């Protein structure tokens, strides 16, 4: 048993050394660390409790990267073997489900632990600057490892149950998002009514980091969060082992559609007919964006979430309803939803055609490449209308305040900088989705987010250290627009290359 597990581990290590994912993650994390040190130094954060503030920020970055590492590495552990149709061969060779699970789980765990190890030189810097003790350092690293076990167990279960790597990454991302935001909102609501919520708050590793990094920390590193995360993570792995044979016997090429696809088909109707003048845009609208009925349903979901946020604000508000209390949830959630939906649609724009190698067949139509590409883009752009509608309605409620803000040039400069950076990020998500064969859509979005975040951090640093903040933000916006145009051209080149595959 041990020999078979070691064989699987050795095989995974050899493939991982040639996989760019782990190298990109380990490269992006130190880059953010260096940028953070520059930001803290610029804001004068290295003058008072320098090591304490810096160490908390670096630990939070590690937490975020570990969370996304679960989506990038653990969520594809079993599903990639299923897609390659090698699970049957492994079972015929006498490899047990436990051998497969351990052999596919241990290498990603080691890769994620290396992400934590990347922080060690910066940890020594924090300890040298003062404000942080060895007991706190050990407690933070133990908390991060416990969170890693939990995320790894959840992603491994999703990888076993899901029929594709993209679906496993999607499920993992959705569960982690609901888990974090749901915990924060539920704990705030319980505290409002004086109900004990400590067991719920302390379960999240990110909530544990702040008390550990606080001055005077003398608690044991083995906390409730460490024990609970490890136990739940091991239970999820046990569930993955129990359902392994039930879920991995399915064939990847089965014609059964997913629940979401069946729901979209039911909502869109069975008598859909393509637009005579724009069939490619119609196809993208219905099969990528979901179709008109699905868009209206998403609009209702956005309004429902905004209403829940409004009720949550109302419980903490002064008791009377103000226009700003109605507009704030609409604007905030509308902006978040528009960016998230835009990133998802950007990553899915040409993803299915390039991965299934049908892009060349599509380009055999009597249309040139720009017409085909822009027609699909036009159909997909309708997918962000629900979020933009929610955002626009919120802006309409406080139209007077927005009109007053338009009188200041700083408003237009910041708006230009924000929009150009978002446009570049969406282009990067599309580029990564068609160039990185291993990249599921959450990974493409995450890589684009890392690149854009580093650019924004560096821009803010330079703007704060220079005399003219607005002028430099304008320059940074021009640079971002130029990078977006360059990425746009590169996407066209890559699509041209995909035609021959």
**Number of other CB atoms surrounding residue 199 within 10 Å:** 10
pLDDT > 90? residue 485: yes
Same domain membership, residue 307 and residue 240: no
Question: Of 247, 264, 292, which one is at a domain's C-terminal end?
Answer: 247
The boundaries of the domain holding residue 90 are 2-247
Measured CA to CA, the distance from residue 469 to residue 410 in angstroms comes to 9
Q: Give the mean pLDDT of the chain.
A: 79
Extract the tokens encoding 124. Answer: 């020594």
> What DSSP character marks residue 484?
H
Flag whether 255 is in a domain: no
Span 127-148, average pLDDT:
86
Confidence of residue 249 (pLDDT cuts 50, 70, 90): low
Measured CA to CA, the distance from residue 144 to residue 397 in angstroms comes to 43
Flag whether 271 is in a domain: no
Higher pLDDT pick, 355 / 152: 152
What is residue 69's predicted lDDT score, i.e. its pLDDT? Answer: 74
Question: Of 247, 274, 303, which one is at a domain's C-terminal end?
Answer: 247
378-407 per-position pLDDT tens digit: 888 888 999 999 999 999 998 888 888 888
Flag whether 252 is in a domain: no
What is residue 350's predicted lDDT score, i.e. its pLDDT? Answer: 86
Confidence of residue 433 (pLDDT cuts 50, 70, 90): confident
Confidence of residue 300 (pLDDT cuts 50, 70, 90): very high
Query: Highest-confidence range of 89-93, 186-190, 258-262, 430-434, by mean pLDDT?
Result: 430-434
Residues 6+ apart with CB under 8 A from 119: 29, 33, 58, 59, 62
Same domain membership, residue 319 and residue 181: no
Same domain membership, residue 325 and residue 189: no
Extract the tokens encoding 128. Answer: 């040298």
Alpha-helical runs (H) found in 73-119: 79-83, 87-92, 97-117
Residues 6+ apart with CB under 8 A from 218: 135
Span 92-98, average pLDDT:
79
Provide the sign of the torsion angle of the four alpha carbons 339, 205, 202, 52, taken in this order: negative
Question: Of 247, 268, 299, which one is at a domain's C-terminal end?
Answer: 247
**Number of other CB atoms surrounding residue 493 within 10 Å:** 9
Measured CA to CA, the distance from residue 337 to residue 334 in angstroms comes to 5
Same domain membership, residue 333 and residue 233: no
Same domain membership, residue 228 and residue 308: no
Same domain membership, residue 243 and residue 186: yes
pTM: 0.73
Same domain membership, residue 158 and residue 70: yes
203-246 per-position pLDDT tens digit: 888 888 888 888 778 888 888 889 999 999 999 999 988 888 78
Same domain membership, residue 490 and residue 392: yes
Flag whether 270 is in a domain: no
What is residue 42's predicted lDDT score, i.e. its pLDDT? Answer: 64
Same domain membership, residue 173 and residue 44: yes
Flag whether 420 is in a domain: yes
User: For residue 95, which phi and psi values (nearest 5 degrees)?
Assistant: -80, 120
Flag whether 14 is in a domain: yes
Residues 6+ apart with CB under 8 A from 190: 196, 197, 200
pLDDT > 50? residue 271: no
What is residue 252's predicted lDDT score, i.e. its pLDDT? Answer: 44
What is residue 313's predicted lDDT score, i.e. its pLDDT? Answer: 75
Flag whether 259 is in a domain: no
Measured CA to CA, the distance from residue 421 to residue 415 in angstroms comes to 10
Helical pair 134-161 and 97-117, crossing angle rounded to 10 deg: 140
pLDDT > 50? residue 169: yes
Same domain membership, residue 211 and residue 359: no
Q: How many domains does the chain have?
A: 2
Side-chain-side CA neighbours of residue 294 (13 Å): 21
Flag whether 217 is in a domain: yes
Same domain membership, residue 191 and residue 298: no
Contact 165, 75 (CB under 8 A): yes
Confidence of residue 255 (pLDDT cuts 50, 70, 90): very low
Same domain membership, residue 294 and residue 181: no
pLDDT > 90? residue 117: no
């Amino acid at each position: 048993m041990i020999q078979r597990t070691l064989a699987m581990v050795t095989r995974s290590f050899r493939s991982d050394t040639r996989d760019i994912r782990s190298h990109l993650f380990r490269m992006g994390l130190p880059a953010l660390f260096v940028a953070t040190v520059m930001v803290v130094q610029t804001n004068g954060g290295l003058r008072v409790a320098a090591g304490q503030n810096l160490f908390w920020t670096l630990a939070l970055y590690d937490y975020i990267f570990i969370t996304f590492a679960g989506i990038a590495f653990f969520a594809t552990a079993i599903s990639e073997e299923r897609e390659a149709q090698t699970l049957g061969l492994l079972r015929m060779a006498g490899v047990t489900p436990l051998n497969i699970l351990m052999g596919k789980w241990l290498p990603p765990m080691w890769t994620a632990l290396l992400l934590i190890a990347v922080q060690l030189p910066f940890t020594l810097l924090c300890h040298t600057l003062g404000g942080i003790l060895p007991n706190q350092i050990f407690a933070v690293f133990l908390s991060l490892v416990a969170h890693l076990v939990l995320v790894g167990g959840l992603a491994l279960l999703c990888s076993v149950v899901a029929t594709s790597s993209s679906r496993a990454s999607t499920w993992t991302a959705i569960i982690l998002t609901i888990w974090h935001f749901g915990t924060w909102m539920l704990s705030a609501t319980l505290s409002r009514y004086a109900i004990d919520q400590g067991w719920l708050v302390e379960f999240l590793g990110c909530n544990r980091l702040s008390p550990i990094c606080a001055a005077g920390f003398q608690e044991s590193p083995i906390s409730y969060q460490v024990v609970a995360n490890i136990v739940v993570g091991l239970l999820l792995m046990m569930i993955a082992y129990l359902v392994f044979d039930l879920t991995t016997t399915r064939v990847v090429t089965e014609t059964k559609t997913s629940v979401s696809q069946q729901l979209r088909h039911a909502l869109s109707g069975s008598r859909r007919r393509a637009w005579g003048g724009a069939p490619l845009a119609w196809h993208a609208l219905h099969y990528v964006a979901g179709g008109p009925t699905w868009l209206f349903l998403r609009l209702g979901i956005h309004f429902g979430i905004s209403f829940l946020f409004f009720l949550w604000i109302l419980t903490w508000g002064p008791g009377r309803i103000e226009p700003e209390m109605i507009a704030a949830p609409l604007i905030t959630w509308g902006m978040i939803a528009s960016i998230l939906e835009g990133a998802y649609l950007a990553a899915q724009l040409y993803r299915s055609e390039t991965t299934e190698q049908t892009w060349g067949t599509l380009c055999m139509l009597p249309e040139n490449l720009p017409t085909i590409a822009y027609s699909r883009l036009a159909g997909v752009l309708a997918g962000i209308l629900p979020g933009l509608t929610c955002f626009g309605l919120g802006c309409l409620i406080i139209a007077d305040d927005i009109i007053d803000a338009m009188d200041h040039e700083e408003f237009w400069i910041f708006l230009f900088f924000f929009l150009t950076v978002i446009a570049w990020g969406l282009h990067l998500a599309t580029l990564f989705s068609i160039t990185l064969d291993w990249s599921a859509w959450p990974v493409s979005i995450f890589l684009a987010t890392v690149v854009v975040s580093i650019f924004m951090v560096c821009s803010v640093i330079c703007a704060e250290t220079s005399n003219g903040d607005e002028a430099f933000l304008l320059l940074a916006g021009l640079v971002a627009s130029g990078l977006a145009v360059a990425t746009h051209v590169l996407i066209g080149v890559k699509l041209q290359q995909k035609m021959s595959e």
